């Protein structure tokens, strides 16, 4: 009788551990391929390597768009910057030589420092749009708007733009 109980217990443990390991094994990394974020809305297009999903982050809803058949390209991310380091004065950027109008040669790290310096000087990010090529950010301070586009080796700065922001739903649905 004890042998039968031990066998049942052993089988139960095997079944439970196999279910648990399968559950853990099914979690795939989430790679964000496109993002649109404003104060009111936040959408991402991401993949787990198998499918491509559209996620409404604010409303916590996700839908499958299609199978993932293309090359996966993660959105351009800015490196984390220690807030205790010396940051550039954002106004000093305008004194540098422009490569082309409104465009400056700048590494991703320097661009991240510039963005942090803007925020430390009272500018708030009110919208961000990103894919693997760029991060397009809209800042606001004292009812004035600025647009900053970060590319891998360049920074584009447009000051005193109008307050019209791109529609996040149109952006996220473009070429999805």
* 125-155 pLDDT, tens digit each: 999 999 999 999 999 999 999 999 999 999 9
pLDDT of residue 82: 86
pLDDT of residue 5: 52
From the CA atom positions of the chain, what is the Rg in Å?
A: 23
Q: Say if residue 105's pLDDT is above 50.
A: yes
Q: Say if residue 117's pLDDT is above 80.
A: yes
Nearest to 116 by CA among 102, 137, 134: 137
pLDDT of residue 16: 44
pLDDT of residue 83: 78
**pTM summary value:** 0.79
pLDDT of residue 100: 82
pLDDT tens by residue, 15-36: 444 433 333 344 568 999 999 9
The secondary structure of the chain as a DSSP string is: -HHHHHHHHHHHHHHHHHHHHHHHHT-PPPEEEEEEEESS-EEEEEE-SSEEEEEETTTTEEEEEEE--SPP-PPP-PPP--TTSPPPPHHHHTTSPPSBTTEEE--HHHHHHHHHHHHHTT-EEEEEEE-SSEEEEEEEETTEEEEEEEESSEEEEEEEE-SPPPPHHHHHHTT-
pLDDT tens by residue, 45-103: 999 999 999 999 999 999 999 999 989 999 999 999 887 788 878 777 666 767 788 89
Sign of the dihedral through C-alpha 107, 139, 40, 65: negative
């Amino acid at each position: 009788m004890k042998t039968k109980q031990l066998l049942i217990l052993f089988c139960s443990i095997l079944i439970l551990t196999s279910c648990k390991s399968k559950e853990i094994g099914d979690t795939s990394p989430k790679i964000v391929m496109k993002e649109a974020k404003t104060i009111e809305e936040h959408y991402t297009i991401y993949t787990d390597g198998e499918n491509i999903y559209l996620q409404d982050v604010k409303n916590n809803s996700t839908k499958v768009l299609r199978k993932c058949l293309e090359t996966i390209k993660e959105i351009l991310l800015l490196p984390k910057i220690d807030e205790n380091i010396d940051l550039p004065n954002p106004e000093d950027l305008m004194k540098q030589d422009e490569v082309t109008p409104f465009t400056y040669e700048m590494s991703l790290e320097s661009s991240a420092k510039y963005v942090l310096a803007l925020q430390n000087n009272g500018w708030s990010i009110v919208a961000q749009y990103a894919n693997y090529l760029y991060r397009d950010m809209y800042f606001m301070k004292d009812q004035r708007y600025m647009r900053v586009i970060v590319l891998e080796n360049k920074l584009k700065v447009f000051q005193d733009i109008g307050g019209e922001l791109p529609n996040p739903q149109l952006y996220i649905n473009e070429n999805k």
